[in-house]
Structures are given as C-alpha cells and as structure tokens.
C-alpha cells in the first residue's frame, strides 16, 4: 500500500521546525522519497543530521548551494525532482520572499526553479501573524493557484501566548501532502459543495444503552479531507466520532448528530445546498420501539427488545434529488460485496455506490486502509486494491466525476432501513 512520490521539505527558522521530523519520518516509512532543505535559521532549531537520517538522504543547506559540486545547479536539480514542495514552518520572512519573488538562499531559489504545487504551513507569534503587512502577504500568496495552505491554528505558542499562529500538526500536514501527490495540485472540485455523512448512529434504549455499530467515521474523514484539498467546501453530518482531523479546516461545517432520526433531519436540511452527497455513515436499520428518558434498572430490561424500522435516508434523498445533484452510497458487506451493492444501488436509485468488505484484513470498520468496488448506475465498475482510506477517497471522487447526473427518480416511498 506504499504511495510513490517525491516530496521536498523546506524547513525555515522557527521552533515548530521540530514537528517536521515526524513528517519526514512518516513520509519515508510510507515509501515516498523525501529530501529536505534547511535554511540557516532552521539550523538554529534542528540539525541537518536529523533530517538526513529520517529522510534516508543527505539534507541540503546553503553551504551545498554555494559549493559547485553538482553537475547542474542544485536548485535546478531539486526543483525538477520535486513533485510536492512543503515549506514548514513558514516564517514571516520567507512568506515575504515568496510574495515578491525573492531568491537569496537555496530554498527560495528552488521554489522559483520548480513548478510543482507548494504547501505552506505558517508558524509565528500571534502579534507577528496579525500584522497588517503579514496578512497582506498571506492573502496575496493564497491567490496564487500554485500555493496551498494548511493552518495556522490557535493554541499555546512557544512564547506562552495563547492565540493564532500555531503551526498545523503533522496529522494535518501529511494528508494534504498525500492529496497533492494524487491531484498534482489541481483544485478540480473548486466551487463544489459536498454533503458527507460519517460515523455510526446510535439508537438508544435509555440514556446509556444503545444499538450501534463499529463505524469510526474514518472513511468520512478521509472523504472530507480529500474534497477540501481539491477545492470543495464540505458539510459533514456525523454521528459520535473523533473529528479533530477536520475540525480546524476552514472549508468544513460540522453538523453533529447521534441517532438516525437526527442524521436524517440534518441531511434533509442540507441536501438542497449540495452538488454531491456521499453517504459514508453507517446508519442503523432498526431502533428500539421505545426509549426511556431515565436509565433502566437491570431488572427492568426486557427479555426481548421490540424494534421498529428506521427511515431509509438514502432512498428519501434520491426522491428529492435535482438533475444537477449526484448521490453516492456505501455498502459495507461480507462475502460477495458486488451483488448486494448492485441491489442497493438500484433499489435506492443512487448514482453510484462503493461496495467495501468488512471481512477482509485491514479493511472496513475502524481500519486506516480499505478496498472497494465502485459501481455506477450505468454499470461501470472499478475495483480498488487495498490502499489508505485517503487514497480510496480520492479514487472515489475521481470516479464520481465521471458519473452522469440524472433526473430525480419517480418511485413509491420505502421504509426499509440502511446500513452503509
């Protein structure tokens, strides 16, 4: 499941430089080729030896830049080699140089000698970040389609100040790098509004007991990250789950829910605003017929639990779908995954469906990886080999772009539940 690619890390002079050691290590372990450039300022905080060890390749400094030991100029070689360039931490000084096209060291010369996408992760004191000149430079660089941004966030800074300017964490930087390797920096979903559901709903018997499922929402998180990295805005309707990886993203609106009824109401409210709706949540099929407002004593628990069906959210959305909208479902299956997914695709009048196994190693609920078969309403199928959920998310978004939008279907209502 290794993801090939070539990533050049540009590390500048800030205390947050230490975070990039984790980024370098994770990229190298995933099979990606990694190189690092350290500015003179960066070497006041971290050493070239650290990054040469983690990257499995000598780290570059300005000393290398000014030594004529290369057959070709070093900044040209590195600029042509890189598929993604990451500058983190991005200081106010380096930001100003990028805005004005200045090139006075190896890193800034390499930026000008390259054409690959550049990911920027700013880090500085709050007062520095909020300076009018810095904000002007930041807004200007963000208008350049070559540059992509991650962070900054708010929190406790190295100066003990609490405020904006904290560099994004590695678990936010790494997915963006992987996305840029896939898209080559294209924002092909710019202007699109995606509605994504994620996590497993809980159908309560009382305030502490519920019928649930093992869904962690990781696939929905990956879909949200992939869509935002490609320029979309996202409304994420989620059941109880960990949301830290997307909570700080400016382009996502989080709608928390617990039960299938709550998720249904939220999805119905936001569906008219969506171009695509991707139903990655594991929604209950049934719920207890009654729910106590107080915890039931153990002795009062019924020997048999009366159940009633949960409304079919995907089928209800398909009846409301407009010609420009696309509705995509998920089918988590064991054994034969294609046949039941085809049935679900046709029965719910979906535009496409992702059938993924839950009985295979490193796939399905709770896993960081997945595999699937994508199917659209015209019978097109695409098998996805085991890969990270972020890679699968990008492949699904690629697949959906080739799906034709269809008019809203006309069919009788259904009350069957779903588990997608």
pLDDT over 60 (residue 181): yes
User: Beta strand 203-204 with 210-211: parallel, antiparallel or unpaired?
Assistant: antiparallel
Q: Torsions phi, psi of 88, nearest 5?
A: -155, 130
167 Cβ contact list (under 8 Å, min separation 6): 14, 16, 19, 88, 89, 121, 122, 123, 151, 152, 153
pLDDT over 80 (residue 163): no
- Tens of pLDDT along 7-42? 999 999 999 999 999 999 999 999 999 999 999 999
DSSP 8-state class, residue 174: H
Q: Give the Cα separation of 417 and 310 in Å (integer).
A: 5
Can you tell me which residue has the tokens 């039941």? 340
pLDDT, mean over the chain: 91
285 Cβ contact list (under 8 Å, min separation 6): 309, 310, 416, 417, 418, 419
Q: Give the Cα separation of 234 and 374 in Å (integer).
A: 22
Question: Cβ(5)–Cβ(33) under 8 Å?
Answer: yes
pLDDT over 90 (residue 222): yes
Question: Cβ(378)–Cβ(346) under 8 Å?
Answer: no
Query: What residues act catalytically?
Result: 159
Mean pLDDT along residues 267-295: 94
Higher local confidence (pLDDT), 156 or 310: 310
Tokens representing residue 173 in the block:
């930087």
Question: Cβ(327)–Cβ(345) under 8 Å?
Answer: no
Question: Cβ(177)–Cβ(119) under 8 Å?
Answer: yes
Alpha carbon of residue 370 to chain centroid: 15
Alpha carbon of residue 271 to chain centroid: 21
Is 6-183's fold the same as 193-401's? yes
pLDDT at 414: 40
Residue 298 Rama label (left phi>0; alpha psi -120 to 50; beta): alpha
Higher local confidence (pLDDT), 269 or 163: 269
Mean pLDDT along residues 224-231: 96
pLDDT at 2: 58
Question: Cβ(197)–Cβ(240) under 8 Å?
Answer: no
pLDDT over 50 (residue 282): yes
pLDDT at 416: 37
Question: Cβ(82)–Cβ(54) under 8 Å?
Answer: no
Minimum mean pLDDT among 42-51, 114-123, 402-411: which range? 402-411
pLDDT over 60 (residue 287): yes
Tell me how crowded residue 132 is: count the other CB atoms within 10 A of its CB. 7
* Cβ density class 116-127: b for 16+ within 10 Å, e for less: bbbbbbbbbbbe
Q: Give the Cα separation of 361 and 371 in Å (integer).
A: 10
Higher local confidence (pLDDT), 324 or 160: 324
Q: Give the Cα separation of 230 and 218 in Å (integer).
A: 18
pLDDT over 70 (residue 182): yes
User: Could you tell me the residue ranges of all domains in the chain?
Assistant: 6-183, 193-401
Query: Which of 136-140, 294-298, 415-419 is predicted most confidently?
Result: 136-140
pLDDT over 80 (residue 79): yes
Question: What percent of the chain has pLDDT above 90?
Answer: 78
Three-class SS state of 228: helix
pLDDT over 50 (residue 354): yes
Report whether the peptide linkage leading into residue 247 is cis, meaning its omega lies within 30 degrees of zero. Answer: no
pLDDT at 417: 37
Instruction: Kindly list the distances between the CA atom of residue 139 and the CA atoms of 16, 111, 329, in Å, as whole numbers in the listed order.
Output: 22, 19, 37
What predicted TM-score, i.e. pTM, was given to this entire model? 0.90
Higher local confidence (pLDDT), 115 or 410: 115
Higher local confidence (pLDDT), 181 or 414: 181
Half-sphere exposure in the Cβ direction for 66 (13 Å, CA): 6
Mean pLDDT along residues 274-286: 95
pLDDT at 406: 66
pLDDT at 419: 36
pLDDT at 128: 86
Query: Element (H or E) spanning 395, and its range?
Result: helix 389-401
Homologous superfamily in CATH for domain 6-183: Flavin prenyltransferase-like (3.40.50.1950)
pLDDT over 60 (residue 302): yes
| Res. 158 pLDDT band, cuts 50 70 90 | confident
Tell me how crowded residue 228 is: count the other CB atoms within 10 A of its CB. 22
pLDDT at 165: 72
Question: Cβ(37)–Cβ(10) under 8 Å?
Answer: yes
Residue 165 Rama label (left phi>0; alpha psi -120 to 50; beta): left
- Tens of pLDDT along 370-413? 999 999 999 899 999 999 999 999 999 999 998 877 655 554 44
| Res. 360 pLDDT band, cuts 50 70 90 | confident
- Hey, which CATH number is domain 193-401, 3.40.50.880, 3.40.630.10, 3.40.50.10300, 2.30.110.10? 3.40.50.10300
Q: Please write down the long-range contacts of 49-53, taking CB distance under 8 Å and 24 or more positions apart.
A: 50/21, 51/9, 51/11, 51/20, 51/21, 51/24
Burial class (CB in 10 A: 0-12, 13-18, 19+), 149: middle
């Amino acid at each position: 499941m290794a993801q090939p690619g070539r990533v050049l890390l540009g590390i500048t002079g800030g205390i947050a430089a230490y975070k990039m050691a984790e980024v370098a290590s994770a990229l190298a372990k995933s099979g990606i080729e990694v190189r690092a450039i350290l500015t003179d300022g960066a070497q006041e905080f971290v050493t070239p030896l650290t990054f040469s060890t983690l990257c499995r390749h000598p780290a570059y400094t300005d000393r290398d830049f000014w030594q004529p030991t290369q057959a070709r100029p070093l900044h040209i070689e590195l600029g042509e080699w890189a598929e993604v360039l990451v500058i983190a931490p991005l200081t106010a000084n380096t930001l100003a140089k990028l805005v004005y096209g200045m090139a006075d060291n190896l890193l800034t010369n390499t930026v000008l000698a390259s054409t690959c996408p550049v990911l920027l992760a700013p880090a500085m004191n709050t007062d520095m970040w909020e300076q009018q000149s810095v904000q002007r430079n930041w807004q200007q660089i963000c208008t350049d389609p070559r540059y992509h941004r991650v962070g900054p966030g708010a929190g406790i800074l190295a100066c003990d100040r609490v405020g904006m300017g904290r560099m994004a964490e590695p678990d936010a930087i790494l997915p963006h790098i992987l996305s840029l390797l896939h898209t080559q920096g294209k924002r092909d979903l710019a202007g699109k509004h995606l509605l994504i559901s994620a996590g497993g709903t809980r159908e309560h018997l009382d305030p502490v007991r519920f019928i649930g499922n093992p869904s962690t929402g990781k696939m929905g998180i990956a879909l949200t990250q992939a869509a935002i990295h490609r320029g979309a805005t996202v409304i994420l309707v989620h059941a109880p789950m960990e949301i830290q990886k997307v909570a700080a993203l400016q382009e996502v609106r989080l709608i928390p829910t617990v039960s299938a009824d709550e998720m249904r109401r939220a999805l119905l409210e936001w569906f008219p605003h969506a171009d695509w709706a991707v139903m990655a949540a594991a929604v209950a099929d049934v719920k207890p017929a009654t729910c106590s407002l107080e915890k039931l004593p153990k002795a009062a628990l019924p020997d048999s639990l009366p159940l009633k069906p949960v409304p079919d959210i995907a089928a209800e959305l398909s009846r409301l779908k407009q010609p420009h909208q696309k509705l995509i479902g998920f089918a988590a299956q064991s054994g034969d995954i294609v046949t039941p997914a085809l049935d679900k695709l046709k029965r719910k009048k979906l535009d496409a469906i992702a059938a993924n196994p839950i009985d295979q190693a490193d796939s399905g609920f709770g896993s960081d990886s997945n595999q699937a078969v994508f199917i659209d309403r015209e019978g097109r199928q695409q098998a996805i080999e085991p890969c990270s959920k972020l890679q699968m998310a990008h492949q699904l978004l690629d697949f959906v772009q080739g799906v034709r939008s269809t008019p809203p279907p006309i069919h009788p209502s259904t009350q069957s539940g779903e588990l997608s």
